[in-house]
Amino acid sequence: AQSVTQPDIHITVSEGASLELRCNYSYGATPYLFWYVQSPGQGLQLLLKYFSGDTLVQGIKGFEAEFKRSQSSFNLRKPSVHWSDAAEYFCAVDPNQAGTALIFGKGTTLSVSS
Amino acid sequence: DTGVSQDPRHKITKRGQNVTFRCDPISEHNRLYWYRQTLGQGPEFLTYFQNEAQLEKSRLLSDRFSAERPKGSFSTLEIQRTEQGDSAMYLCASSLGGQEAEAFFGQGTRLTVV
């Protein structure tokens, strides 16, 4: 079945430590790929996106993500987490590459400990 | 603030009542999307408009739901005969259209059906 999977429901990271959030997708062709962040009371904000080309993409707030076709993955990383990064993170795909419906994963909640 | 605006932010209604939500997209954005997000889940696509035309509807959009975008600007989402299962956050997003246009999300309307 076509799906977007975020295996980790909740992750806790110490401030200053590195972060990796996992995302796997199951679609026949490589979809457009996105990471969004949602803070309490805030709308979803786009962190970064992948359409084609360089498989390592840079985003806002120091985040990056790497597309791995062989693993159908698009994992989000940050070398040093700040307390303000605590939020919910969603991986999303545009399976039709049409700028229409996005399919979201269930999200990963990130907590940052001091 | 020129972001996507949603009204109301919160709505509590009794089961069986009708409710209507409004979304004002970013000016000049010709695509407008509605999503629903329940607790612990990622947003789920409901429908989208290209200008005033409703071009795609999800199977989640039962016949109790209707969305309009009469002049290609703001949009309304109406739910008739609300059920407790309709309790969710309803998110609106807009984009300039095109394959690679970024979708900007509003803060959502939280509906509670009692």
Q: Is B1 on the interface with A (CB under 8 A)?
A: no
Q: What is the mean pLDDT of residues B1-28?
A: 94
Q: Determine contact, residues B43/B108, Cβ cutoff 8 Å.
A: no
- The A-side interface with B (CB below 8 A) comprises 4, 32, 36, 41-46, 49, 51, 90, 92, 97-107
- The DSSP code for B9 is S
Q: What pLDDT is recorded for position B1?
A: 54
Strands (E), chain B: 5-7, 10-13, 19-24, 31-37, 44-50, 53-57, 65-68, 75-79, 88-95, 104-105, 109-113
Q: Determine contact, residues A104/B44, Cβ cutoff 8 Å.
A: yes
The residue count of chain B comes to: 114
Residues from chain B contacting residue A43 (CB–CB below 8 Å): 3-4, 91, 104-108
Residues from chain B contacting residue A36 (CB–CB below 8 Å): 105
Q: What is the mean pLDDT of residues B60-78?
A: 94
- The residues, ordered by sequence, that sit 6+ positions from A50 with a Cβ below 8 Å of its Cβ are A32, A33, A34, A57, A65, A67, A74
For chain A, 114 residues long, the average pLDDT of each consecutive 10-residue run is 92 97 91 94 92 95 96 97 97 89 96 95
CA pair distance B26, A30, nearest whole angstrom: 29
Token couple for A8:
């980790």
Residues from chain A contacting residue B41 (CB–CB below 8 Å): 106-107
Q: What pLDDT is recorded for position A97?
A: 84
Kindly report the backbone phi and psi dihedral angles of residue B84, in degrees, each rounded to the nearest multiple of 5, phi listed first. Answer: -60, -30
Q: Determine contact, residues B114/A114, Cβ cutoff 8 Å.
A: no
Could you report the per-residue pLDDT of A48-61, keeping only the tens digit for each?
A: 999 999 999 999 99
